[in-house]
């Protein structure tokens, strides 16, 4: 994909009212998704379960996994950070350990993850032929590409939105509004009317679908073979590292798409 040689902005824009143009870039989007630490936090209960199960028994592994999830929740609570991801992680761990406890087999801890990955992968793939690639839907919701936000362009209309998002993330009162700010401009054409954008979002959606289906393809035979330790190793190896690579590629491609749409809009006008 073509685009200017300069790299998109590397830091979030200044939310203060100093009159400077707001830069809303990939790092703020990543923060809204939970950040890199959020992905690490999500992996800790699984690590605790695998380690405890290898050196102890299933009961120990269950309590260690639950303990790790609770500690993540308490740590975020003390730091006054967003608890949404921690609560969802605790719920997921509770379901997984409940299934393992009911069956008495450690391998069943990974059943919810295998089923979840299969469903997400199929849904993502199914959205591509419908020309509603879900990665594009999510990306356009977080940062509409017609505004050029990921390409570090000026976004005065987004200032209040970003200020409010930051305040919500850090549990601070929303900033006071002095006067009316201009609304974000409507796109001259919807992102789905741009073939290049739809095609790129389609390939990104396929990439994400394959990351989920790869986990299913690797973990299912290990589950059927009752390879508990290898199942845990595969869960970790195909979890955070693969997700980090896919997310990095996605942010880079979306930034290029933003620059493409901004340049196309400037040419059309």
User: For 180-200, what is the mean pLDDT?
Assistant: 74
Q: How confident is the model at residue 17 (pLDDT cuts 50, 70, 90)?
A: very low
**Cα 73 to Cα 42, 85, 163, 165, 176, distances in angstroms:** 11, 9, 25, 21, 30
Domain membership flag for residue 67: yes
Q: Which domain holds residue 128?
A: 26-268
Domain membership flag for residue 12: no
Q: How confident is the model at residue 201 (pLDDT cuts 50, 70, 90)?
A: very high
Domain membership flag for residue 3: no
Contact between residue 136 and residue 130 where contact means Cβ atoms under 8 Å apart: no
Domain membership flag for residue 42: yes
Distance (Å, whole) CA 265 – CA 87? 42
pLDDT at 185 over 80: no
Domain membership flag for residue 194: yes
Output the pLDDT for position 77: 81
Domain membership flag for residue 19: no
**pTM, 2 dp:** 0.71
Domain count, the chain: 1
Contact between residue 248 and residue 150 where contact means Cβ atoms under 8 Å apart: no
Output the pLDDT for position 176: 53
pLDDT at 30 over 60: no
Query: What is the tens place of the pLDDT at every residue in 119-174?
Result: 999 999 999 999 999 999 988 887 777 766 665 444 444 445 445 555 555 555 55
Rg of the chain (C-alpha set) = 21
Lowest-confidence region among 6-10, 47-51, 149-153, 158-162: 6-10
Distance (Å, whole) CA 21 – CA 156? 6
Q: How many CB atoms lie within 10 A of CB 133?
A: 27
Contact between residue 246 and residue 208 where contact means Cβ atoms under 8 Å apart: yes
Quickly list H helices, the chain: 26-32, 35-55, 58-78, 84-103, 111-127, 134-142, 159-169, 195-224, 228-237, 240-268
Query: What is the tens place of the pLDDT at every residue in 225-236?
Result: 998 889 988 998
**Cα 66 to Cα 27, 73, 87, distances in angstroms:** 31, 11, 12
Output the pLDDT for position 217: 97
Domain membership flag for residue 15: no
User: For 45-50, what is the mean pLDDT?
Assistant: 88
Rounded to the nearest 5 degrees, what angle is found at the Cα of 123, between the Cα atoms of 121 and 128?
A: 100
Rounded to the nearest 5 degrees, what angle is found at the Cα of 196, between the Cα atoms of 195 and 197?
A: 90
Output the pLDDT for position 240: 83
Q: How confident is the model at residue 56 (pLDDT cuts 50, 70, 90)?
A: confident
pLDDT at 4 over 90: no
User: For 95-107, what is the mean pLDDT?
Assistant: 91
What is the residue-averaged pLDDT of the chain? 76
Domain membership flag for residue 152: yes
Output the pLDDT for position 86: 73
Distance (Å, whole) CA 40 – CA 38? 5
């Amino acid at each position: 994909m073509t685009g200017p040689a300069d790299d998109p902005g590397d830091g979030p824009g200044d939310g203060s009212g100093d009159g400077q143009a707001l830069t809303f870039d990939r790092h703020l989007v990543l923060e809204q998704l939970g950040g890199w630490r959020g992905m690490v936090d999500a992996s800790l209960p699984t690590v605790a379960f695998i380690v405890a199960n290898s050196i102890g028994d299933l009961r120990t592994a269950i309590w260690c996994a639950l303990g790790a999830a609770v500690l993540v929740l308490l740590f975020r609570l003390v730091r006054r950070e967003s608890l949404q991801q921690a609560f969802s992680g605790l719920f997921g761990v509770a379901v997984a350990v409940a299934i393992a406890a009911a069956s008495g087999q450690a391998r069943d801890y990974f059943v919810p993850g295998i089923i979840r990955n299969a469903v997400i992968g199929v849904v993502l793939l199914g959205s591509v032929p419908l020309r509603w690639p879900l990665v594009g839907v999510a990306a356009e919701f977080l940062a509409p590409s017609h505004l050029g936000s990921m390409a570090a362009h000026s976004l005065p209309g987004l200032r209040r939105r970003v200020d409010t998002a930051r305040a919500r993330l850090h549990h601070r009162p929303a900033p006071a509004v002095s006067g009316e700010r201009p609304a974000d401009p409507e796109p001259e054409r919807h992102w789905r009317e741009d073939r290049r954008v739809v095609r790129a979002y389609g390939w990104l959606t396929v990439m994400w679908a394959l990351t989920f289906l790869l986990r299913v393809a690797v973990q299912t035979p290990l589950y059927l073979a009752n390879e508990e330790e290898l199942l845990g190793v595969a869960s970790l190896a195909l979890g955070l590292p693969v997700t980090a690579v896919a997310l990095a590629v996605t942010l880079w491609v979306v930034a290029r798409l933003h620059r493409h749409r901004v340049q196309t809009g400037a040419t059309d006008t």
